[in-house]
A and B are shown apart, each in its own frame.
Chain A
Amino acid sequence: MIEKEDSIISEEEAAQYDRQIRLWGLDAQKRLRGSRVLLVGLRGLGAEVAKNLILAGVKGLTMLDHELVTEESCRAQFLIPVNNQGQNRAQASLERAQYLNPMVEVKADTDRVETKPDEFFLQFEAVCLTGCSRDLMVRVDQLCFQHNIKLFCGDVFGYHGYMFSDLGQEHNYVEEKPKVVKPKTEESNDGPEAKKTKIDPNETTMIKKTACFCSLKLALEVDWTNEKAKSSLKHTPHFSTTQSIVFSPFVPLFVPTVLLKFRTDKGRDPHPESFEADAMLLRQIRDDVLEAMGLSSDLLPHDFVSYCFSEMAPVCAVVGGVLGQEVVKALSQRDAPHKNFFFFDGMKGSGVVDYFGPK
């Protein structure tokens, strides 16, 4: 439970956070200020999320990454100054991350996340995993679920990206709605309605709500072959040929599924330097997944694999923006969270929210 720590907000905070307090309110800002977040992975997407959370004014952000800065990292990420090759990525990002907002406690941790004991995670209100294997994400999610820690995952693969959130069995939040102005009655005994005090049309009221989330494990245990799901017409079209538009709820999961399988098999993401070999493996995995999903391969652009390499900076910005805002919403307990996946296709500019998991 995120407490509103000290009730006082300093002049400095009020001045710096003015424009966001005007949007989400002082209460939300205080809850953010009481929250500690763990961010795993400081590549392109991680850097975006770090920036967004630090600017939002969380209490602390721990950036965890065991990888070293490579030449490619310099191009990929704006927190790492040049000439930091060979340094740990989290460490190299620390200074510029801290500069973003001195009021946040920013830390760098160079360990492998797999080696962290369970207790390590318990110090955080939210955990955000990027660049992690599917198994690791499932494991950390189980742990977070048990301890009421908000869990987020996200990745960017070339032009594509996704994020997942698990806010626990019962996530409580508020929504601000305009106050309903009662319809004007006919002349009452008191005299014409107009003579009464005017109700400010901008007045709002807070409504309490609850959302339920499922674990990542359950979310990914979709039954591809379920006839009902395959023929569902309620979902948005994602791929289109010139003749027809195909409806399938699983299409947006396609790219993350293929790429996460690649990551598990190879222990890394596809790399432009090994384009030929990686593309071949991607196509193999693609065929397997398509078959399992019951989709035909002519639905995809035949060179789709070439759009999955590396992390595109603008795609990191989009996914990192949505993901960052979901973390802010969850910590501040304000506004309806997206349930439970967000998929972004940078080729089309489409971003959809969809739910996978038990009903």
Chain B
Amino acid sequence: MVTLQLVGSLRKELADSLSTCRVLVVGAGGIGCELLKNVVLTGFKNIEVIDLDIIDVSNLNRQFLFQKKHVGKSKAQVAKESVLQFCPTANITAYHDSIMNPDYNVEFFRNFMLVMNALDNRVARNHVNRMCLAADIPLIESGTAGYLGQVTVIKKGLTECYECQPKPTQKTFPGCTIRNTPSEPIHCIVWAKYLFNQLFGEEDADQEVSPDTSCVLWDGDIKRVSTKDWARSTGYDPVKLFNKLFKDDIQYLLTMDKLWKKRKAPLPLDWLEFVILSGCVIACPQGVTGTGLKDQQVLGVGGYCQLFSRSVETLHSVLADKGDGAELVWDKDDPPAMDFVTAAANLRMYIFSMNMKSRFDIKSMAGNIIPAIATTNAVIAGLIVLEALKILSGDVEQCRTIFLNKQPNPRKKLLVPCALDPPSANCYVCASKPEVTVKLNVHKTLVLALQDKILKEKFGMVAPDVQIEDGKGTILISSEEGETEANNCKFLSDFAIRNGSRLQVDDFLQDYTLLVNVIHCENLEKDVEFEVVGDAPDKAPTPTRSQEEGKNIANGNKESSEPSTSSEGVQVNLTLMTFSLWL
């Protein structure tokens, strides 16, 4: 029998390579803390960890490297210090930074034997995916939500990359659903967040709250004042605001009678009626017990009228204090901001005959909160390291995608390993000459929209450079600041871009070149600015029950890569309790 040398559970050769190689952990949150612990205990010696976020009290139920006294500090930094307590010989470098910072270029990634993601948003995942492809370094991807989790391995040329399969985008709602005919609480919550921005934050043309007359053929008065201007003109008087939003605007909607032929009509509210005439300061709460969380109570309408009024006053004074031209950013953890959305959403729900919801529930929906526990992250982080060991042993073909279920499947599996898929030939990221076709209206699409909505948001680029294949190599967009700013408010057609034009798009940081074919189209759907040909039309994914075939991949409760402590986008988190999912 050949003598075997073991170091702990590992064969000596493997143990040796662990202690010399360098690994990168992207993220020091739920999965990240568990992962760092496992990585260090397993015997890795040279570890770099990066996270842009700071510690929040709601992290403490699972991000066990942090304590209450660390709230407000850098996650990466505190994680490193905590780990050194039980393993002082580990060589850990911590970066309180965004992985999308151009400092972390392909050369940076090439320093590592492997990269392990512990992220919570799609934008960063896309970016790291491309960097690892560019550097040709294996990437271990993972995600968790509640009791569910998933791990997979990405290796250029061998497996699918993160972007090989189109991921369902976060659900958005048509303007007229939000503005005219909400039928679910979430519509009212989205409306309330839009309202916040219209009154106190950055006004956005896509976030109108007043009745929308364009979706119904309507000859009525369509000249309306901007919400913010109107509010300013009344000095943000809460009662006037209330009556406009919850009485006048609703009465206006009622005159659009086509909308209410098959739908239950909304009931306008009157401030006088509910606050003064009802007599009580906070009307009887529905279903309250003394044993619940304060936030889980559902107040009566009168209560939300009061809450609306109070929060408007508070927010207005905060805004005024900030001076001219100031804007507030919505944050679920800012009490008056959360109060405002709770009140406004509930009042709207009441008007549209929906059962009102507690602040607790509204916070979940408005803030895209994904419930999280330590054990799920612990399991997933364990699986990540086991995959890492396979890679380091040279056994990449043993690597698997592994799903963690809540209950065992009919074959008794709680943890389900599945073979990795080969790269998709048409992947517009990892194919050898990525190419894609986009339908848009060249006369109505601004260069800025191309850059921000299409190249950055849709195609995940960070700093795109765009050249028109017009024989002259005209530069449309330059990633160098200021160089092509003048082009931003021009239309594509101004540069002779038309049906059949081709654009060469480069992102030098991601070492990524994409050829974009333009198809001119004049009749795209309402509210749709562009369409990627070959993409599944955007719709909410139906929950899949089989993870073996399930490649249903959702991508995070945030569309941006902003830290969790900052405000999140308005898009709604999908109800993600499917078996296979990415977050």
Cα distance, A254 to B371, chains bound together (Å): 37
Chain A 267-287 interface mask (CB, 8 Å, partner B; 1/0): 000001001100100000000
Question: Is B201 on the interface with A (CB-CB < 8 A)?
Answer: no
Contact, CB under 8 Å: B386 / A346 = yes
Instruction: Report the nearest B residue to A327, measured CB to CB.
Output: B375
Given contacts A14-B295, A80-B86, A351-B414, contact A194 B375 (CB under 8 A): no
Contact, CB under 8 Å: A48 / B8 = no
Question: Is A309 on the interface with B (CB-CB < 8 A)?
Answer: yes
Instruction: Report the nearest A residue to B389, measured CB to CB.
Output: A314
> What residues of chain B lie closer than 8 Å to A197, measured between beta carbons?
264, 353-355
Cα distance, A52 to B37, chains bound together (Å): 14
Instruction: Report the nearest B residue to A16, measured CB to CB.
Output: B60
Instruction: Report the nearest A residue to B12, measured CB to CB.
Output: A272
Contact, CB under 8 Å: A314 / B372 = no
Chain B nearest CB from A346 CB (Å) reads 5
> What residues of chain A lie closer than 8 Å to B493, measured between beta carbons?
none
Question: Is B300 on the interface with A (CB-CB < 8 A)?
Answer: no
Contact, CB under 8 Å: A311 / B373 = no
Contact, CB under 8 Å: A22 / B86 = no
Instruction: Report the nearest B residue to A18, measured CB to CB.
Output: B58
Contact, CB under 8 Å: B379 / A317 = yes
Contact, CB under 8 Å: B184 / A201 = yes
Contact, CB under 8 Å: A22 / B413 = no
Contact, CB under 8 Å: B413 / A195 = no
Given contacts A15-B58, A22-B369, contact A314 B382 (CB under 8 A): yes
Quick one: which of B7, B293, B369, B411 contacts A14, CB cutoff 8 A? B293
Q: Which of A111-119, A121-129, A135-143, A336-344 lies on the face that meets chain B?
A: A336-344
Instruction: Report the nearest A residue to B411, measured CB to CB.
Output: A236
Cα distance, A9 to B375, chains bound together (Å): 22
Instruction: Report the nearest B residue to A175, measured CB to CB.
Output: B407
Contact, CB under 8 Å: B417 / A349 = yes
Contact, CB under 8 Å: A353 / B381 = no
Instruction: Report the nearest A residue to B183, measured CB to CB.
Output: A198
Chain B nearest CB from A31 CB (Å) reads 13
Question: Is B101 on the interface with A (CB-CB < 8 A)?
Answer: no
Instruction: Report the nearest A residue to B414, measured CB to CB.
Output: A351
Cα distance, A246 to B382, chains bound together (Å): 28
Cα distance, A201 to B184, chains bound together (Å): 8
Contact, CB under 8 Å: B412 / A15 = no
> What residues of chain B lie closer than 8 Å to A19, measured between beta carbons?
58, 61-62, 369-373
Cα distance, A355 to B364, chains bound together (Å): 37
Quick one: which of B4, B62, B364 contacts A55, CB cutoff 8 A? B62
Contact, CB under 8 Å: A321 / B58 = no
Other A-B pairs beyond A51-B374, A315-B9, 14, CB < 8 Å: A7-B291, A14-B295, A20-B371, A44-B41, A74-B86, A78-B87, A196-B264, A197-B354, A200-B354, A275-B4, A312-B8, A317-B381, A322-B379, A349-B383
Those of A60-119 within 8 Å (CB) of chain B: 72, 74-82, 96, 99-102
Instruction: Report the nearest B residue to A13, measured CB to CB.
Output: B293
Question: Is A152 on the interface with B (CB-CB < 8 A)?
Answer: no
Contact, CB under 8 Å: B6 / A320 = no
Question: Is B165 on the interface with A (CB-CB < 8 A)?
Answer: no
Contact, CB under 8 Å: B9 / A353 = no
Cα distance, A8 to B40, chains bound together (Å): 40
Question: Which residues of A are in contact with B by a Cβ distance under 8 Å?
Answer: 4, 7-9, 14-24, 26, 44, 48, 51-52, 55-57, 72, 74-82, 96, 99-102, 158-159, 192, 194-198, 200-202, 235-236, 272, 275-276, 279, 303, 306-307, 309-318, 320-322, 324-325, 328, 335-336, 338, 342, 344, 346, 348-354
Contact, CB under 8 Å: A349 / B386 = yes
> What residues of chain B lie closer than 8 Å to A276, measured between beta carbons?
3
Cα distance, A195 to B266, chains bound together (Å): 11
> What residues of chain B lie closer than 8 Å to A313, measured between beta carbons?
37-38, 41-42, 382, 385
Given contacts A195-B264, A197-B354, contact A56 B86 (CB under 8 A): no
Contact, CB under 8 Å: B415 / A350 = yes
Quick one: which of A8, A16, A201, A310 contacts B58, CB cutoff 8 A? A16
Chain B 408-452 interface mask (CB, 8 Å, partner A; 1/0): 100111111100000000000000000000000000000000000
Question: Is B262 on the interface with A (CB-CB < 8 A)?
Answer: yes
Instruction: Report the nearest B residue to A303, measured CB to CB.
Output: B4
> What residues of chain A lie closer than 8 Å to B296, measured between beta carbons?
26
Question: Is B348 on the interface with A (CB-CB < 8 A)?
Answer: no
Given contacts A7-B290, A19-B62, A20-B371, contact A315 B414 (CB under 8 A): no
> What residues of chain A lie closer than 8 Å to B43, measured between beta carbons?
75
Contact, CB under 8 Å: B383 / A350 = no
Instruction: Report the nearest A residue to B378, measured CB to CB.
Output: A321
Chain A nearest CB from B419 CB (Å) reads 11
Cα distance, A150 to B296, chains bound together (Å): 31
> What residues of chain B lie closer than 8 Å to A75, measured between beta carbons?
8, 41, 43, 87
Contact, CB under 8 Å: A318 / B6 = no
Those of B1-49 within 8 Å (CB) of chain A: 1, 3-11, 34, 37-38, 40-43
Cα distance, A99 to B372, chains bound together (Å): 20
Cα distance, A335 to B373, chains bound together (Å): 15
Question: Is B400 on the interface with A (CB-CB < 8 A)?
Answer: yes
Given contacts A75-B43, A353-B414, contact A321 B375 (CB under 8 A): yes
Question: Is B132 on the interface with A (CB-CB < 8 A)?
Answer: no
Contact, CB under 8 Å: A314 / B385 = yes
Instruction: Report the nearest A residue to B58, measured CB to CB.
Output: A18
Given contacts A15-B58, A338-B414, contact A55 B64 (CB under 8 A): yes
Chain B 352-378 interface mask (CB, 8 Å, partner A; 1/0): 011100001000100001111111111
Contact, CB under 8 Å: A324 / B374 = yes
Contact, CB under 8 Å: A96 / B34 = no
Instruction: Report the nearest B residue to A322, measured CB to CB.
Output: B379
Chain B nearest CB from A176 CB (Å) reads 11
18 cross-chain CB contacts under 8 A: A14-B293, A22-B364, A51-B64, A51-B374, A74-B86, A76-B41, A78-B83, A195-B262, A197-B355, A272-B8, A306-B4, A312-B8, A313-B382, A314-B382, A314-B386, A321-B379, A346-B386, A351-B413
Contact, CB under 8 Å: B415 / A344 = yes
> What residues of chain A lie closer than 8 Å to B301, measured between beta carbons?
none
Given contacts A82-B87, A200-B354, contact A350 B413 (CB under 8 A): yes
Instruction: Report the nearest A residue to B6, measured CB to CB.
Output: A272
Instruction: Report the nearest A residue to B263, measured CB to CB.
Output: A194
Contact, CB under 8 Å: A22 / B371 = yes
Contact, CB under 8 Å: A26 / B292 = yes
Question: Is B94 on the interface with A (CB-CB < 8 A)?
Answer: no
Given contacts A194-B264, A314-B383, contact A9 B373 (CB under 8 A): no
> What residues of chain A lie closer than 8 Å to B37, measured between beta carbons?
78, 313, 317
Chain A nearest CB from B541 CB (Å) reads 15
Contact, CB under 8 Å: A20 / B61 = yes
Chain A nearest CB from B163 CB (Å) reads 24
Contact, CB under 8 Å: A198 / B353 = yes
> What residues of chain A lie closer than 8 Å to B379, measured between beta carbons?
317-318, 321-322
Question: Is B575 on the interface with A (CB-CB < 8 A)?
Answer: yes
> What residues of chain A lie closer than 8 Å to B407, measured between beta carbons?
336
The 5 closest A-B pairs by CB, nearest first: A351-B415, A317-B382, A23-B371, A7-B291, A313-B41
Given contacts A272-B8, A322-B375, A338-B408, contact A317 B38 (CB under 8 A): yes
Question: Is B569 on the interface with A (CB-CB < 8 A)?
Answer: no
Cα distance, A307 to B60, chains bound together (Å): 35
Question: Is B88 on the interface with A (CB-CB < 8 A)?
Answer: yes
Chain A nearest CB from B575 CB (Å) reads 7
Quick one: which of B8, B183, B376, B378 contacts A320, CB cutoff 8 A? B378
Contact, CB under 8 Å: B400 / A55 = no
Quick one: which of A23, A57, A279, A311 contacts B9, CB cutoff 8 A? A311
Cα distance, A322 to B364, chains bound together (Å): 26
Chain A nearest CB from B86 CB (Å) reads 5
Question: Is B147 on the interface with A (CB-CB < 8 A)?
Answer: yes
